[in-house]
């Protein structure tokens, strides 16, 4: 694998993807809304392997268009891997529903991966042999929902699961494989550093799933530990 593009690369799971891919010798396009001290440090110590592309809000049609069509760093580049990682979790319950917050989660968690993937396919940055990973959540699994609440997050991740399953069908004949991946319950800002696994262990598992991904396995929903998850 030579070239990978990651969304939400400035912290958490996205930043760790950049670290581990760069350590494998992959050239990483680390996209984010705003860079961080950690991502800048990684980029400057990487000898050019990690390139930061800021101002990429995955909820913005214009920003995604600009990335796919006009970003100079991507000129002539064919991506081997796209990781749709950017996401948000808001915590509304039935007694505290804020539809604006729910809409925002759809915009980022569901439409973001579809918007980025479709634009990069259209501009031929992704093609035969490329892989697309969507970092979803088992909280988007209807079969696995035993605890309720978190309406916007659950609904937006269920919707992105359908987007990924549909992309898998549409991209199969073009030789592009798609995986829906749950990272585990990971100690990041999103979980307020609670969680069961450290980010390095989660990302090592996610990369193992991506390594195994082929067009013949396209469209699956896996835990980072390799377990197949129910829809």
Catalytic sites, residue numbers:
153
Does residue 59 belong to the site contacting ligand NAP (CB under 6 A)?
Answer: yes
What minimum distance in Å lies between the beta carbon of 179 and ligand NAP? 14
Does residue 14 belong to the site contacting ligand NAP (CB under 6 A)?
Answer: yes
Over the range 137-163, which residues count as b (16 or more CB within 10 Å of their CB) and which as e?
Answer: bbbbbeeeeeeeebbbbbbbbbbbbeb
What minimum distance in Å lies between the beta carbon of 102 and ligand NAP? 15
Task: Compute how many residues bind ligand NAP; rule: CB under 6 A.
Answer: 30
Q: Rounded to whole angstroms, how far apart are CA atoms 185 and 103?
A: 24
Q: Rounded to whole angstroms, how far apart are CA atoms 182 and 176?
A: 20
What minimum distance in Å lies between the beta carbon of 87 and ligand NAP? 2
Q: Where are the alpha helices (DSSP H) in the chain?
A: 12-23, 37-45, 61-70, 99-105, 112-122, 151-172, 199-212
DSSP 230: P
Does residue 58 belong to the site contacting ligand NAP (CB under 6 A)?
Answer: yes
**Interface with ligand NAP in residues 60-119 (CB under 6 A):** 85-89, 108
For the beta carbon of residue 3, count every other beta carbon within 10 angstroms. 18
What minimum distance in Å lies between the beta carbon of 187 and ligand NAP? 7
Among 8, 152, 164, 205, binds ligand NAP (CB under 6 A): 8
**Interface with ligand NAP in residues 155-194 (CB under 6 A):** 182-183, 185-186, 188-191
Q: Rounded to whole angstroms, how far apart are CA atoms 65 and 106?
A: 19
C-beta separation of 108 from 58 below 8 A: yes
Q: Which residues bind ligand NAP (CB under 6 A)?
A: 7-8, 10-14, 32-34, 57-59, 85-89, 108, 135, 137, 182-183, 185-186, 188-191, 195
């Amino acid at each position: 694998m030579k070239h990978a593009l990651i969304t939400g690369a400035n912290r958490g799971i996205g930043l760790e993807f950049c670290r581990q891919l760069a350590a494998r010798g992959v050239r990483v396009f680390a996209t984010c809304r705003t860079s961080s001290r950690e991502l800048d440090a990684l980029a400057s110590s990487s000898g050019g392997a990690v390139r930061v592309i800021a101002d990429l809000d995955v909820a913005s049609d214009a920003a995604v268009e600009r990335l796919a069509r006009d970003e100079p760093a991507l000129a002539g580049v064919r991506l081997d891997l796209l990781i749709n990682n950017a996401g948000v979790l808001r915590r509304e319950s039935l007694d505290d529903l804020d539809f604006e917050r729910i809409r925002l989660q759809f915009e980022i968690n569901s439409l973001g991966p579809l918007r980025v993937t479709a634009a990069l396919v259209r501009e031929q940055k992704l093609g035969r042999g490329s892989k697309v990973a969507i970092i979803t959540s088992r909280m988007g699994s209807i079969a696995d929902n035993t605890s309720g609440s978190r309406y916007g997050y659950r609904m937006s991740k269920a919707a992105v699961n359908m987007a990924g399953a549909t992309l898998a069908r549409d991209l199969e004949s073009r030789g592009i494989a798609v995986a829906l991946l749950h990272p585990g319950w990971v100690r990041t800002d999103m979980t307020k550093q609670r969680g069961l696994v450290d980010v390095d262990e989660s990302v090592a598992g996610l990369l193992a799933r991506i390594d195994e991904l082929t067009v013949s396995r396209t469209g699956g929903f896996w835990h980072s530990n390799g377990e197949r998850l129910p829809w």
